[in-house]
Amino acid sequence: MGKHSRRPERSGDPDDHLAPYHRRREPPADGRRRHFPVHGGATHVRPDEQRLLEEWDGFTYQAAGFASDLAEARAWAREDPS
């Protein structure tokens, strides 16, 4: 098999033809919520700067607001959105 070839995705339920689609809609491993410094850079650098908050909407991350500093952004990311 070539480097980029893939086998078709298989589901546990043969009647669920949308299983690969549902699997792709699951949130990424880093979670449903994430944050970034507004002016770029590593997350731990300049902890007193504003952070952009993003939340997973089932398809992609959407902007959810701003946090005033790293501590507030981390607390927001740990909250249960449901």
Structure tokens at 30: 């880093």
35-46 pLDDT, tens digit per residue, is: 999 988 887 888
The residues near 79 (Cβ < 8 Å, ≥ 6 apart) are 33
H or E element: which one contains 25?
A: none
Spell out the domain ranges in the chain: 28-78
pLDDT of residue 8: 55
pTM given for the model: 0.67
pLDDT in tens, the chain (82 residues): 556 655 555 545 678 888 888 777 777 777 889 999 998 888 788 899 999 999 988 888 999 999 999 999 999 999 876 6
